[in-house]
Amino acid sequence: MITPDGKITIKSKLKDLLKSYYVHTTSYNLFRQQQQEAEQRRKNGETDVRDVNPLEIVRFIHIDEYNKLTTYAQDDYLPMTQGQLAELTGLRPNSITEMVRLKQSSINMEHLTKIATVLNLKSISDILDFVVEE
């Protein structure tokens, strides 16, 4: 319960959360290549160009799965970056950065939902921490 003199502080866990996901570099590079090809086809006037869905191409795993891989297999993965999360969610990179730093005065629930969906999170509390200070 929040008392009238209590203050709520919101802390972002997104930076630490990103450290617990690893992106398969080959699948990510394939996604980028297909994205560039689709963009080029649009520039050339093709109208039936299908959008590239990164979630259909890019493989990423949680650190628990990563730690079970052999050292050789781990070489195929790198920690997820804010830019990669932006591409996977369809959000602007600045939106991810603002959420990591909590620079915005309001929290966009649609953005939180996209991040939670992509990373298969069960709760918004995996991204944000609400601390009541008295």
Mean pLDDT, the chain, whole residue set: 88
Instruction: Name the band, by pLDDT with cuts 50, 70 and 90, for residue 2.
Output: very low
* Contacts within 8 Å (CB) and 24+ apart, 69-76: 76/24, 76/25, 76/26
What global pTM score does this model have?
A: 0.81
At 115 the pLDDT is 92
Strand 77-79, strand 21-24: pairing? antiparallel
Tell me how far apart the alpha carbons of residues 91 and 114 are, in angstroms, rounded to a whole number. Answer: 8
Query: Domains plus CATH for the chain?
Result: 7-24+60-133 (1.10.260.40)
First to last CA, the chain: 11
**How many residues would you count in the chain?**
134
pLDDT at 3 over 60: no
